[in-house]
Amino acid sequence: LKCIHVCIYVWYTLGLKLAVQRQFYEEDKPFTCLDGSRTIPFDRVNDDYCDCQDGSDEPGTAACPNGSFHCTNAGFRPAFIPSSRINDGICDCCDTTDEYNSGAACQNTCRDLGRKEREELVKMAEIAKEGFQLKQQLIHEAKRGLEDKKKLDINYLNSRAKLSEIQSSKKDLEAKVEALRTVKETAEQPEKEAKGRHMQAWEEQKAIARKEKDKAKMTEVFLELDDDADGFVSVAELLSHSELDPDLDSSFTEAEAQVLMGGEDKVDPASFEAVWNNIKEKYLSESNADIPAPVETAQEETPVSDNDSDQYPEDDIPEEEEEDDEEDEDDDQDESDYKVPPTERTKEKKDDDDEGTMPPYDQETQNLIDAAQKARDEFDEAERALREVDDQIKNLEKEISFDFGPSAEFGYLYSQCYELTTSEYIYRLCPFNRVSQKPKYGGSETNLGTWGKWSGPQDNIYSVMKYEHGTGCWQGPNRSTTVKLTCGKETVVTSTSEPSRCEYLMEFITPAVCQEPPNLDSGLHEHEEL
């Protein structure tokens, strides 16, 4: 009976946590199912028959399909397994207790597993400890950097006080710009008027010169047309110049010539001015008639190339091939930037050469121009300074808006980039900026997302970064990247993948995410049960 009593005692304690056994399983009292559904004699506990719907009466047998068996696993971590695995010939518990009646040759491996786990925990704790120490350094450097930036007149990053100071200086600059604008406009008005007077005088001078030149040319042509030197130009003499034919039909008639002559048969020098006005655009001087026309030489035949690009010289590219380059030019060019066609430019240059160069400004006009130019230069300089301040404010506001962590421990990642090269691509992570992908052997870069937000769980929000609104996929969404941060001594991208189409996952190690490790001595024996 003693042996039977001992065997029964061992039987019903199997599969239970010690604390649960003491609270609900008392040998000398009836057993109530843990779900409260019924009460049974205690000898029906672990009798290999399922009496309770929740399976709580058979913690040590496989009788109940929904039961669970507790592996004590002394020296390692306790565990629960489904009751269906009890005595199935497979060792699930490292202490072999799940195969107490199957005959399976199980070895107790709990001590070895516990030792290996403790070694791994020690290793991970050391990494966490070193990472946490680096994190503290990062926090210290971030704080020191913030203090330094408050003292220096340069480098305003992460300094709200300096941002306020810059914004105040911007107001002063804006006022200065407006004041200089007024000075500039005031100086430009007399400059404009003086230049206008000078230009008007020059135009009048050129008009007189053109008129004298035209008069001389008219006299020259009269003498050319007066073949018989009788002091008159007749219709017959005008007919010798077929280029004057009004309708260019190769038949210059007397009637057409007489129309050009103003209805007269002949005109004297005083009346020739009206005729000259009718013919001067077409008239070809006889003095140029002896100049031989350029002879066209036969061009050698050029073999046709199979390559289409050979058909066009380097300086004679078809318009279609230049369209892309033209689109890149600034569409808002000032009208003054319009380029005159070469033929027009040549004609204008010839006219300018004939008429001479514009005389220099008088001293009074030059003084006004110099004063206006000085005002323009000062205004441009102030405007440039204002633009620089605007850019500085914009960058500061952008950086200040970033959440670098409770102690600014992630601040060191800002303006840095980290790369990972795979067999096909080079991935580039620039924290708080963007993620990109570029083919390893050449090709354009693809934006995998720009900085969005921290998106870790509520209790560890700084463990995940989200980058959004990257380059759109073909008939798909815009690319985005999730960056998972893990504790480590280095700062490095360790892996990338694309779990879903256009959605990328990146693993990133940084000491900034390390937490202070728990006390190793208290944790080593926490799960050991004797």
Q: Are residues 210 and 271 in the same domain?
A: yes
pLDDT, one tens digit for every residue, the chain (530 residues): 334 444 444 444 566 766 666 667 777 788 889 888 888 888 888 888 999 988 888 888 888 988 888 898 888 889 888 988 888 899 999 988 888 888 888 999 999 998 888 888 888 877 877 777 777 877 777 666 655 544 433 443 444 566 667 777 777 778 888 888 888 888 888 889 888 988 898 888 888 888 889 889 899 898 988 888 899 998 888 888 888 888 877 788 888 888 888 888 888 988 888 888 988 888 887 766 555 555 555 454 444 444 443 443 444 434 444 444 444 444 444 444 444 445 444 555 555 556 678 888 888 888 888 988 988 898 888 888 888 888 877 777 776 778 888 888 898 898 899 999 999 999 999 999 999 999 999 889 999 999 999 999 999 999 999 999 999 998 889 999 999 999 888 899 999 999 999 999 999 999 888 887 766 555 444 444 43
Same domain, 196 and 263: yes
Tell me, yes or no, whether 17 lies in a domain: yes
Of 60, 49, 63, 51, nearest in space to 8 by CA: 60
Candidates 514, 445, 511, 452; CA nearest to 483 is: 452
Q: Residue 75 falls within a domain, yes or no?
A: yes
512 and 478 housed in the same domain:
yes
As a whole number of angstroms, the distance between CA 421 and CA 413 comes to: 20
| Within a domain: 381 | no
The model's pTM:
0.41
Domain annotation covers residue 458: yes
Domain hosting residue 481, numbered range: 118-152+404-516
Contacts of 409 (CB under 8 A, 6+ apart): 135, 138, 139, 142, 512
**Does a structural domain hold residue 524?**
no
Kindly state whether residues 147 and 226 are assigned to the same domain.
Answer: no
CATH of the domain at 430: 2.70.130.10
In a domain, 312, yes or no: no
Tell me the C-alpha distance between 429 and 417, whole Å: 5
How far, in Å, CA of 529 to CA of 114, rounded? 12
Scanning the structure block, which residue is given the tokens 């921290």? Answer: 454
- Assess if residue 355 is contained within a domain: no
Same domain? 85 vs 137: no
- Could you tell me if 135 and 224 lie in one domain? no
Tell whether 527 is covered by a domain.
Answer: no
